[in-house]
A and B are shown apart, each in its own frame.
Chain A
């Protein structure tokens, strides 16, 4: 048997070591961050924290949750993620269902969608569009522009195509309409695909920061990722004119660590529930019949 051969065992050992190293390189930065978030400010500034908190305290978390900007941004992020995922999923599944059928002009339509994957209008036209539509400063400016993603559409569409035609025909004979078939057959059968694409969209909207900064004129309307962007990037800011108070704010490394950690938690928590669909979803959706 091949898996008992010497060569295979050596390969296996190396394989494990390599994978452990890769896993550690993902895990250790998180651990370091976690340790920092529970350490005192002086210890963090002195570079004394590695993977275990020094002078354990939860002050950074207390301060973070007391900061109404942070909690407000968190709320906006949750709203935008939920709303964005729902709207996006609705658009993509309905259009994916339609496009999985044969009809006249389908290829032309597909071509138009794929075109948007390769070329975009650029920042200025998008900005002008969103502004002139009056979406600026509303949650819709975060949700709508990215609601329809061609890549996700193709995944879902291919997934729908793998469902046997015969199922649909049988349902027709029983008197079901397109909408009933879509709801009662296609959606339940393609749960892995939906979960995968849903996770993509969710992570995408949770992490998106640039649109928030672009379309919100009030920092209190920033989603969490935009808020963090202003807070964390500032740490590497190079400005000669930096004032004393700003410099003091820069040194709040433990608070930044806490904020980053809290902001990654929701996605980490969602992941295990969707993970079981993940591999299946991608593989099935990617194979064309």
Chain B
């Protein structure tokens, strides 16, 4: 008995000691920090959460997450110390950590970038995040207001009951996709780049049957795309162009705002014709044989290897496939706009207006400081102020002689890779106001490269630059998904199954494992098994989101 007593005492003592270790939280600074000449004195600390990919560059000069050139810049120039207190590697881990933080086992960071609509909704429901409508009205600098005015729909996921629980992270329309074609193959076969579906068919047929690489073997094919995760990847190895050629603005896997009514693209008229075409091409060997097993990123390999002739993706895709010009002698890639639809109209593709939203801890009282800091980060996007060329000389850019360089190998102290600002600032993406490539367009029209944005653009590969110009000229063809809210009630239970059914049906039809009429069954089943209900719910969400005029509340009108 004596021993048991001693044991219990020890346990209690230990627990007490350990608990003591945990609660050495800092005293909240009682002295109110004041903003004087654009600087806080004494300095204040903003705690942030961050999703950071370790592979995207590394720290240099012995710096770290919470002590680097940009955090020091913040303290010195603004009196704002940015401290990362919650960090996740990839998207799902980051979401898990945010959810765990919601349990209240530790203090939620002040600023939370959230990239998942259902998590955004959970945060709102938890009551731990702040309504920032007032703050935006009061503290958001004018030039940022101008930007946010252009993207009112980005507020939809965070508006609830007329309150605004967050704001988009640097809203800006993504660049559009272009068609990358093996120009040397076109030249060899005396073909021109296709502009409609018939010409497209002729070209990929020739690429498959007429031995464009001249090795005497039947080992090439026309069109390389991925169908593993969806038939609308939105970035690389995309096949949306073919669907859009028949459906117009209804794209597979996304919602289209048809005069105030949201409709789902995969069940839209014309999809069947597109599938019929793909099925025909697949059976003739014009397409990537493994399209249903290769993810967007894996599907590139065939093109890079010199086996495929056409691939579609964002203009920078060129940088990822240009190895073919090294691997295969005489290979040459050129960028072209996507083809036109059967009606003669352009084809459309998905675009994105923002990557996630900022949300704020409801106890965070320094919104003014946040906006001060955030606005400064935009200096790089506008090419003004402290960040005229980039964020830090010797990190993401350098000045060699009189020239601003972005090629890290030409830096005064050459680096393997420039240190991206995502590693230092509080978002993984850098704010941009360049849209789908305005700077490239301006350059092509003869603008002088005099600020960071333009110089950086000018330092791209020629083919990528041409691609961006095409992207900008065709910016009208970008369609953001009209539904960006949290999963609706029926979606939570059935969306996964509907998606699986969709992917399977599409793939089986293309592979000729099921007759084309399977598509009609799919459409019927889709509606019966929850699609109709989901459409109703989504339209209800849309009407609610656009009912209250929060934009003027925020002074964004």
- Residues of chain A whose beta carbon lies under 8 Å from any beta carbon of chain B: 41-43, 45-48, 63, 67-69, 123-124, 127-128, 131-134, 136, 213-214, 216-220, 222, 226-227, 229-231, 233-252
> What residues of A have a CB within 8 angstroms of the CB of B356 in the complex?
241
A234-B55, A243-B429 given; A251·B320 CB < 8 A = yes
Task: Please tell me which one of the listed residues B20, B93, B235, B304 contacts residue A242 in the complex, with CB atoms under 8 A apart.
Answer: B235
Closest to B302 in A: A47
**B87 interface residue (CB < 8 Å to A):** yes
Q: List 25 A-B contacts (CB under 8 A).
A: A45-B300, A45-B301, A46-B304, A47-B301, A47-B304, A48-B305, A67-B58, A123-B96, A123-B100, A127-B100, A131-B106, A134-B18, A134-B20, A213-B88, A213-B89, A218-B84, A219-B52, A220-B65, A233-B90, A235-B297, A240-B233, A241-B355, A249-B55, A249-B56, A250-B297
Q: A219 vs B87: C-alpha distance in the bound complex, in angstroms?
A: 8
Task: Please tell me which one of the listed residues B85, B106, B316, B327 contacts residue A46 in the complex, with CB atoms under 8 A apart.
Answer: B327
Q: A230 vs B52: C-alpha distance in the bound complex, in angstroms?
A: 9
> What residues of A have a CB within 8 angstroms of the CB of B430 in the complex?
243
Contact B297 A46 (CB under 8 A): no
> What residues of B have a CB within 8 angstroms of the CB of A247 in the complex?
236, 316-317, 319-320
Contact A240 B350 (CB under 8 A): yes
Contact B89 A244 (CB under 8 A): no
Task: Please tell me which one of the listed residues A42, A131, A136, A248 contacts residue B319 in the complex, with CB atoms under 8 A apart.
Answer: A248
In B93-107, the 8 Å CB interface with A consists of 93, 96-97, 100, 103, 105-106
Report the minimal beta-carbon distance from A108 to chain B, rounded to whole angstroms.
15
Contact A47 B305 (CB under 8 A): yes
A220-B65, A240-B352 given; A42·B326 CB < 8 A = yes
Q: A159 vs B537: C-alpha distance in the bound complex, in angstroms?
A: 61
Contact A245 B57 (CB under 8 A): yes
Q: A246 vs B97: C-alpha distance in the bound complex, in angstroms?
A: 22
Contact B65 A45 (CB under 8 A): no
Contact A45 B91 (CB under 8 A): no
Task: Please tell me which one of the listed residues A41, A217, A222 contacts residue B84 in the complex, with CB atoms under 8 A apart.
Answer: A217
Contact A42 B323 (CB under 8 A): yes
**B157 interface residue (CB < 8 Å to A):** no
> What residues of A have a CB within 8 angstroms of the CB of B326 in the complex?
42
Contact A230 B54 (CB under 8 A): yes
Size bracket, chain B contacts: 35 or more
Contact A246 B65 (CB under 8 A): no
Contact A134 B22 (CB under 8 A): yes
Report the minimal beta-carbon distance from A81 to chain B, rounded to whole angstroms.
21
Contact A237 B90 (CB under 8 A): yes
Task: Please tell me which one of the listed residues B234, B295, B350, B416 contacts residue A63 in the complex, with CB atoms under 8 A apart.
Answer: B416
Report the minimal beta-carbon distance from A199 to chain B, rounded to whole angstroms.
28
> What residues of A have a CB within 8 angstroms of the CB of B86 in the complex?
217
Of A45, A48, A69, the most chain B CB neighbours within 10 A belong to A45
Task: Please tell me which one of the listed residues A45, A48, A218, A222 contacts residue B320 in the complex, with CB atoms under 8 A apart.
Answer: A45
Report the minimal beta-carbon distance from B494 to chain A, rounded to whole angstroms.
21
Task: Please tell me which one of the listed residues B57, B85, B89 contacts residue A226 in the complex, with CB atoms under 8 A apart.
Answer: B89
In B391-413, the 8 Å CB interface with A consists of none
Closest to A246 in B: B56
Contact B96 A230 (CB under 8 A): no
Report the minimal beta-carbon distance from B251 to chain A, rounded to whole angstroms.
12
Task: Please tell me which one of the listed residues A131, A217, A240 contacts residue B234 in the complex, with CB atoms under 8 A apart.
Answer: A240
Closest to B66 in A: A218
Report the minimal beta-carbon distance from B271 to chain A, rounded to whole angstroms.
21
Contact B90 A245 (CB under 8 A): no
In B34-80, the 8 Å CB interface with A consists of 52-59, 64-66
